């Protein structure tokens, strides 16, 4: 008798597990997995070392870059990236409205350099602060179903676009974020970064960071429109991470 009673319960549980979460439920679950919205909002600032290794198509290391990032997070983000490479020193500063780039203490005034400073500072902040950035104003989320990755992992997909006027890339980029629907963990993403150009990124090594739980290693690959993964392009690691840092007052001020 007891076995007969348990059977319907098991069937109900299996049916519930098979149901897809709505896009909002999935994003909320991902944020909860990453520490929760309150933990994100209570984190005033963050700094870390970022190491990027880029690869040739044949797998050989093309270059290694080491950068030091400093972010004020709320209410309007400000960002600073310092690096040293091949005997040159560089800084990119974004005060939330404007961005400037400096090389060996000299301001780079060409429009392409200014655009690069905006793109790199806003872009690095966006990627590192996932999945919390999926609640930004102007974000358009669309359920894209489930899929099985090559290693057998089942993920649920959320297609993410941005309204025109929502940040510098509003109306330009299309992201598909893939989450473990059971835990909420961000597993990977597929990005169309230019018309007809795609890449694929996988997330690893989650670690407690303040009150949050964030990925500290990303591996990037070339990809096609269907998400077929190509050669490995890059590997990015984050370490020396600190939260709620009291930065000097001039940290996000442009150099004179």
Contacts of 144 (CB under 8 A, 6+ apart): 157, 158, 159, 176
71/56 Cα distance (integer angstroms): 31
- Residues 201, 202, 206, 209: what is their CA dihedral angle, to the nearest 10 degrees? 0
- Residues 84, 109, 125, 249: what is their CA dihedral angle, to the nearest 10 degrees? 80
Domains of the chain: 21-243 (2.50.20.10)
Q: What pLDDT, on the 0 to 100 scale, is given for residue 4?
A: 42
191/200 Cα distance (integer angstroms): 6
212/41 Cα distance (integer angstroms): 10
Least confident of 69-83, 166-180, 187-201, 203-217: 166-180
For residue 108, report the phi and psi dihedrals to the nearest 5 degrees: -95, 110
**Burial class (CB within 10 angstroms; exposed 0-12, middle 13-18, buried 19+) of 47:** middle
- Residue 2 pLDDT level (bands cut at 50, 70, 90): very low
238/39 Cα distance (integer angstroms): 20
- Residue 167 pLDDT level (bands cut at 50, 70, 90): low
Q: Is the predicted pLDDT of residue 87 greater than 90, yes or no?
A: no
The model carries a pTM of: 0.88
Q: What pLDDT, on the 0 to 100 scale, is given for residue 151?
A: 85
Do 158 and 142 touch, CB atoms closer than 8 A? yes
CA 30 to the chain's CA centroid: 13
50/221 Cα distance (integer angstroms): 18
Q: Is the predicted pLDDT of residue 13 greater than 70, yes or no?
A: no
Query: Whose CA is closest to 247, among 95, 128, 89, 40?
Result: 95
Region of residue 154 (left: phi > 0; alpha: psi -120 to 50; beta: else): beta
Structure tokens at 52: 């990027």
Q: Is the predicted pLDDT of residue 233 greater than 50, yes or no?
A: yes
- For residues 91-111, average pLDDT: 94
- Specify the 3-state DSSP secondary structure of 241: strand
DSSP codes joined into one string, 78-91: EEEEEEEETTEEEE
């Amino acid at each position: 008798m007891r076995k007969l009673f348990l059977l319907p319960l098991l069937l109900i549980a299996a049916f519930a597990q098979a149901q897809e979460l709505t896009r909002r439920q999935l994003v909320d679950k991902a944020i909860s997995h990453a520490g929760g919205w309150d933990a994100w909002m209570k984190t005033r600032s963050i700094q870390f070392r970022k190491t990027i290794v880029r690869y040739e198509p044949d797998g050989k290391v093309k270059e290694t870059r080491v950068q030091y990032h400093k972010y004020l997070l709320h209410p309007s983000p400000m960002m600073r990236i310092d690096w040293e490479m091949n005997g040159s020193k560089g800084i990119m500063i974004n005060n939330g409205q404007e961005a400037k780039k400096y090389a060996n203490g000299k301001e780079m005034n060409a429009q392409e350099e200014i655009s690069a400073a905006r793109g790199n500072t806003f872009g690095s902040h966006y990627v590192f602060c996932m999945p919390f950035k999926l609640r930004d104003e102007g974000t358009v989320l669309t359920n894209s179903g489930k899929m099985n990755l090559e290693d057998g992992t089942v993920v649920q997909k959320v297609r993410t676009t941005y309204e025109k006027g929502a940040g510098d890339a509003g109306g330009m980029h299309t992201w598909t974020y893939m989450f473990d629907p059971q835990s909420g963990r961000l597993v990977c993403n597929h990005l169309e970064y230019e018309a007809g150009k795609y890449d694929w990124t996988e997330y690893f090594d989650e670690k407690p960071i303040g009150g949050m739980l964030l990925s500290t290693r990303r591996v990037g690959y070339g990809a096609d429109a269907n998400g077929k993964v190509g050669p490995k392009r890059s590997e990015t690691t984050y370490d020396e991470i600190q939260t709620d840092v009291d930065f000097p007052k001039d940290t996000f001020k442009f150099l004179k």
